[in-house]
Amino acid sequence: MRIRLPLQLLALLLLSCGASSSRVSTRQAGDIEVVFLDVGQGDSTLIKCPNGRRILVDCGSTSSPAPDAAAIAADLKQHLDATSPVIDVLVVTHPDADHYNQLTKVLVGISVKRILLPGSAEDQEGRDDLINQYKVSKFNEWLLARNQDIRWVDAENEVKASKAASNLFFTSDNDAKFYILAANVGGDGGEKNGRSIVLKVTFKEFDLVLTGDATKATENHILGKYSPPDDDAPDWLDIDFLKLGHHGSRSTSSQPNWLNRLKPEYAMASAGADNRYGHPNNDIVSRVGPHLLDAPPHRIMQSAGKDQPVLEVAGYAKSLWVTCANGKIRLTSAGQDKAAVVSVDRN
C-alpha cells in the first residue's frame, strides 16, 4: 500500500539523509537501549536494561489497516533471548486500545513475569472490573489468566518528591532504574488518558520520561508534586529525553509549562502516517523545539490544513524523531548526561 506522507514529513526524510551515517547506533555492552517500535497510530516501547532485563511499555495500534503483528513480534523478539524470550515487566499505561490491542498477538511464545496496570482495586471484583476495561483483542482474557502477575499502581506508588525513593522494579545499583511519576490520576473511573502511568527511566546520568497519553491534568499533577525542586531533593523532572505525550497531541498534552519545566534535549512522538488526529501537532514541535539540542536555527511552517500534521524540522534532525516518518527509533546511551545515540529505520 502506498503511504502518503505530508510534504513536511517528506522534507524530514530528505533532511535526515545527510545525517544518517554518523547516527548509526552501536550499542556497547553496559549501555541502555530503548527501542520505539513502529506500530502506526499507537505506542510500543522496549527498554533493554544493561543487566539484561527487558521492559515493554505498551503495544497497540488503531491504524487502519492494522499493522502487521507478526512483523512487530519478530522485531520485538530480535531483542529478546532467542531460546527463552522473556519480558521482565510489561507496563500497560492505560486502557486505550492503541496501547494494548496488539499484545495478545505479539506476546505469543514470550513469557511475561510482571504486569503493571493503573488502578487501585482492593478486592477481586474490583480487579475484574478493571481488567474488563481491556476487552479489545480479548486482552482482558489474557490478563485474567495472569491475575497473579498483575501489580496495580496508583498515587501510592509514585516516587516521593523529597527523597531518593527506592527503585520501582529492581535494586541493582548498576542498572537502569524505574520510577513512577504519575499513575491513575483521577482514579479508576477517571478519564482514561489522564490515568496513564508516567515512567521515568534513569541510567546513571541519563534520564528519559515515557508519558503514555498523559493529559494536562496528569502533567499538572506531576508539576505540582515535583516542582520547584528543593535544594536537598533530587530533581525528578531534570530529564534528557522525552517521549511526547499522547502521540504529540496539541490540545490534550505537552502544555508549555510542562515542556518548559522538563526542557528535554531530545524528543520523539509515536504516531501513524496520515492519522486523523493530526499527531504530532506543529504547535508541539514549536513548543519543544527551543529546548532541543540542535534547536536553532529552526523554522515552524504553517499548517497545510486543519488538523494536518506539519513538521518543519530542519533544525531538529538530530534531536526530534517521529515513528511515522522514521519508522523504528533506537536510542542508546552509556549513561552520560544529555548523551544519546539515536538511529532510525528510515531516513
List residues near Zn ion by CB under 5 A: 98, 213
CB nearer Zn ion, residue 98 or residue 294: 98
What is the number of other CB atoms lying within 10 angstroms of the CB of residue 44? 29
Of the chain, the end-to-end C-alpha distance in Å amounts to 19
CB nearer Zn ion, residue 16 or residue 275 = 275
- Cβ pair 317, 16 in contact under 8 A: yes
In whole angstroms, the minimum distance from the beta carbon of 255 to Zn ion comes to 17
> Measured in whole angstroms, how far is the alpha carbon of residue 294 from the centre of its chain?
22
Nearest-approach distance from CB 18 to Zn ion, in angstroms:
32
Nearer to Zn ion, 112 or 214 (CB): 214
How far is the CA of 312 from the CAs of 40, 285, 295, 327, 338, in angstroms? Answer: 20, 8, 12, 18, 23
Rounded distance between C-alpha atoms, residue 313 and residue 330, angstroms: 19
Minimum distance of Zn ion from residue 139's CB (angstroms): 15
**Cβ 222 to Zn ion shortest distance, Å:** 18
CA angle 108, 48, 193 (to 5 degrees): 70
**CB of residue 293 to Zn ion, shortest distance in Å:** 26
Tell me whether residue 249 or residue 347 sits nearer to Zn ion (CB atom).
249
Q: How many whole angstroms separate alpha carbon 219 and alpha carbon 85?
A: 35
> What's the min distance (Å) between Cβ of 99 and Zn ion?
6
Nearer to Zn ion, 255 or 333 (CB): 255
In the beta sheet, which residues pair with residue 202?
A: 177, 207
- How far, in whole angstroms, is CA 70 from its chain's centroid? 21
Closer Cβ to Zn ion, 75 or 213, answer by number: 213
